[in-house]
Amino acid sequence: MRLFAAIYPPLVAVDEFAAAVDQLRLGQAAAAGRSVGLTAPDRWHVTLAFLGDVPDDRAPEAAAAIAAGVERWRSRGDEPPRLRLAGAGRFGRGRFTVLWAGLAGDLPQLRQLAADVGQQLRQARLPFDDRRPFRPHLTFARPGGRLPEPQVAADLAALAEFQGQLWQVEEVRLMRSRLGPRPAHTQVAVAPLRAR
């Protein structure tokens, strides 16, 4: 199964950013029925660690490693990070274009949380994509070449000053990702940032 560890913004933050995206050329094209690679808001998340394909029988190990990473982070006694969606950017160009929302707020705590989760995944000898430094973002569209470049640039400029409301990270989720014409995310396990 294809797994990743992530945090999900609360519905109020998702709705706020979705309303901003709806005003973009990208959002208007999607509303008109064009396929422009807009990700469904219920799948918007911030990936802490992407494990990729993991044998089904190792999913419990992945859940335990993520829980151990959260416990290690929690042992420092920090408050859970408070974040907001802020600004936007892109990875790639042309048909490889990916659009993302940035994050602001308690980013050092979020980076530490990602590092603690990653450390425990390494100790469990679970593969994950740790070749690049953790760059907090939320992917919201993969338009590729389906939207003209000037429209992509204008949409990013329109989102440059976006500042969503603050929200607090409550948990890290281990998620299963299904690809295909109807992609879906299914929760496998959850690790709360506050002891229950």
Residues acting as catalytic residues: 45, 137
Token pair 């229950």: residue: 196
Q: In a 3-state reduction of DSSP, which class is residue 56?
A: helix
Q: Which residues contact 174 (CB under 8 A, 6 or more apart)?
A: 3, 4, 5, 59, 62, 63, 66, 187, 188, 189, 190, 191
**What DSSP line would sit under 15-49, residue for residue?**
HHHHHHHHTSHHHHHHHTT----BPPGGG--EEEE
H/E run at residue 62: helix 59-74
Token pair 């422009």: residue: 36
Q: In a 3-state reduction of DSSP, which class is residue 81?
A: coil
